[in-house]
Amino acid sequence: MNNSKDTVLIALIAAGVAVFATEVLRRFNTSDKLKGKKKLAPIPESMFGRKLLEEEFAVKPNYVYGNCGSFGHVPQRVILAQLELIKERESDPEGWYRFGREYSLYFDAIRELADFVKSDPANLVLVENASTGTNTALRSIEFADGDKILVNSHTYGAVLKNVKAVRSEFPGVEEVNFDLQVPLNSKADIIKQFETAINENKGIKVAIIDHITSPSALLLPIKELIEVCHKNGIIAIIDGAHAPGHIPLNLEELNADYYTGNIHKWLFAPRGCALLWVHPRHHDATRPILVSHNHMLDTLEKRFVPSATRDSTAYLAVPSAIAFHKALGGLDVLLERNRQLANAAAEMLAEAWGVERYPVPESLRSPNMALIALPPIFQDNFPPEERECTKLMKRLHDKGSFISFNPVSGKIWARISVHAWNSMEDFFEIRDKVLEMVNEVPSIVQMDYL
């Protein structure tokens, strides 16, 4: 009798261990998920939403992540791939840094990425973030007194600071910041406003243009704008911080002078990873911001291979990030699925809050982000300033959800970002939490934590 009880107990324990081990292997099967970086088993759309978030990302339980547009999220598989790289490096730092292992992995990453963004690998380098990309581009240009840099009212704040830094180095350079006015009806509206700004401000040497604007989530007609720049002898630096993994890219066809874009926002790379595409006519002049061993090498691609001892594993994990994007169906699936959800969620929020959506046609909206005005009580109590928006975001964050709030054209707008881990339920929760905040306005106004 006792014997049979023991046997049952042992069988139960063995079954428990087997279930646990299977689950661990399922989640972190290194042979499938890490080593076969180039091809992962497809993750069907039926897995998208919270299930995907919980299974594939290292997230807080029950938190609503509606702001991929700011910092992205790194899948656990990519974190593990990065960890494997770190372990390999630590097993042989000399082989890694001195005898070419980092070098060869870097070029593997470049080749994979070049294929993804349709670039000649010789024109493509990796930098830490889009900010470094624009910094690098601006620092490669020789400015003279009277030169002008064109930006606009939707240009990213950190980029404007970058322009100010250039001006403090070259005091004769001027900034032209024109008001790109919304409502907009068509691409032609945008192109016309750019042309007017260029015609009214002779001497523009460089234009910095966002592919997708940040607080206003506009999709700008970048190909046409690059052509306008070139017709006017202007160097076009494109800030595509939000583009890779979000919208299709063909960098050779776009033919910018410089194009930078984050891999760590929509394309799942570990943070600290962005691309910089450089037109061949600028290769000779373009050097990394950090001067180190490779600075004087003869080609662009060699100059940007990480030198100076550093952790470059975010770059080297790019093939794993792309493999994850492809496993989700790639842009063919993600762009359309997320576009539809962003649109439906924005409609639902606008109706529930009794507010308008940002007044631009769908063709000018960033496909996977959308802007909705915050309800009037917030407009009445919070001046449209970043500091005030941060208070509102902090309260929402404390409630276990996040979307971003930004001042745009004298009003505070909510910006939702939709990726594969989101579902409509997320935005129902956001809807309700923002409505809860209506009753908390006096205490949010008083917030003094900054």
The residues that touch ligand PLP, with contacts defined as CB under 6 A, are: 70, 129-131, 156, 158-159, 210, 214, 239, 241-242, 262
Alpha carbons 420 and 368: distance in angstroms, whole number? 10
For ligand PLP, the closer CB: 240 or 319: 240
Q: Which residues of 23-35 are buried (b: 16+ CB within 10 A; e: fewer)?
A: eeeeeeeeeebbe
CB of 39 to ligand PLP, least distance (A): 28
Closer to ligand PLP by CB, 156 or 421: give it: 156
Which of residues 270 and 329 has its CB atom nearest to ligand PLP in the complex? 270
Q: How far is the CB of 236 from ligand PLP (least distance, A)?
A: 15
d(CA 231, CA 237): 15
| Of 40 and 276, CB closest to ligand PLP | 276
Residue 295 is which amino acid? H
Q: How far is the CB of 24 from ligand PLP (least distance, A)?
A: 33
Q: Which residues contact 63 (CB under 8 A, 6 or more apart)?
A: 400, 401, 402
Q: Is the dihedral of CA 277, 225, 177, 264 positive or negative?
A: negative
Q: Least distance from C-beta 195 to ligand PLP, angstroms?
A: 22
The residue written with tokens 């929402």 in the block is: 396
Minimum distance of ligand PLP from residue 214's CB (angstroms):
3
Q: Which is nearer to ligand PLP, 129 or 312 (CB)?
A: 129
Strands 404-408 and 411-417 come out as antiparallel
Find the shortest distance in angstroms from Cβ 210 to ligand PLP: 5
Smallest gap from Cβ 30 to ligand PLP, in A, equals 29
Interatomic CA distance for residues 76 and 89, integer angstroms: 20
CA atoms within 13 A on the CB side of 158: 11
Q: Which is nearer to ligand PLP, 67 or 123 (CB)?
A: 67
Closest to 208 measured CA to CA, from 157, 263, 168, 245: 157
The structure tokens listed for 200 are: 């009214």
Question: Which CB atom, from 130 or from 345, has the smaller least distance to ligand PLP?
Answer: 130
Can you say whether the dihedral through the CA atoms of 38, 44, 49, 55 is positive or negative?
Answer: negative
Nearer to ligand PLP, 213 or 431 (CB): 213
- What DSSP state is assigned to residue 47? G
Q: At closest approach, how far in Å is the CB of 274 from ligand PLP?
A: 6
The whole-angstrom separation of Cα 65 and Cα 126 is 27
Q: Find the distance separating the first CA and the last CA of the chain, reported in whole Å.
A: 69
